[in-house]
């Protein structure tokens, strides 16, 4: 958690904002998602579970869209040409359904602890890609935060391996 805080809030004295609250809420939602997917993936058909996940996200996205629209937050979509529709189709099939299918299949074969360890690296991966692709500066405290997350993942992984050796 300390690594996440340093990676996300590098400058002391900055006030908490809605984005920070949303990130923490998303982290809690992901934790629940990981645990639920790991449990259900062992006893359910992978394709059905992935389809349910994608449909749930679609319903939630439409709900949020309608709420935001009723509050006056309306975004004008891009022109509905063939290129845009092809991009939406690709995102819906490959990035959403296929990714959910692979994730669900994999989580059915590993423990929720292993999945959580893998997901813990997401903020570090995002920071590295932001540095490489967007040229964002990582900075000293963010670097320490990223290192703490990686160290935490390594310690967790070593503890799991040690526990397995003791049991065997």
What's the pLDDT tens digit per position in 32-73? 888 888 888 888 898 899 899 889 888 998 898 889 889 988
- Does the model's pTM come out above 0.75? no
Stretch 137-160: mean pLDDT: 80
DSSP secondary structure code for residue 130 in this structure: H
Domain span at residue 102 reads 2-167
Q: Is pLDDT at 14 greater than 80 in this prediction? A: no
Structurally, the chain folds into a number of domains equal to 1
The encoded tokens of residue 66 equal 């309608």
């Amino acid at each position: 958690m300390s690594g996440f805080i340093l990676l996300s809030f590098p400058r002391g004295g900055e006030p908490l904002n809605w984005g920070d609250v949303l990130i923490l809420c998303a982290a809690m939602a992901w934790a629940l998602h990981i645990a639920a997917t790991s449990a259900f993936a062992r006893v359910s058909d992978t394709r059905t579970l992935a389809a349910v996940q994608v449909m749930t996200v679609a319903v939630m996205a439409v709900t949020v869209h309608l709420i935001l629209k009723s509050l006056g937050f309306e975004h004008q979509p891009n022109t509905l040409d063939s290129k845009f529709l092809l991009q939406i189709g690709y995102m819906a099939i490959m990035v959403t359904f296929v990714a959910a299918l692979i994730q669900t299949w994999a989580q059915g074969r590993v423990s929720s602890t292993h999945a959580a360890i893998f997901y813990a690296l997401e903020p570090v991966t995002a920071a590295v890609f932001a540095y490489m692709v967007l040229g964002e500066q990582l900075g000293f405290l963010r670097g320490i935060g990223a290192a703490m997350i990686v160290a935490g993942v390594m310690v967790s992984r070593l503890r799991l391996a040690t526990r397995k050796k003791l049991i065997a």
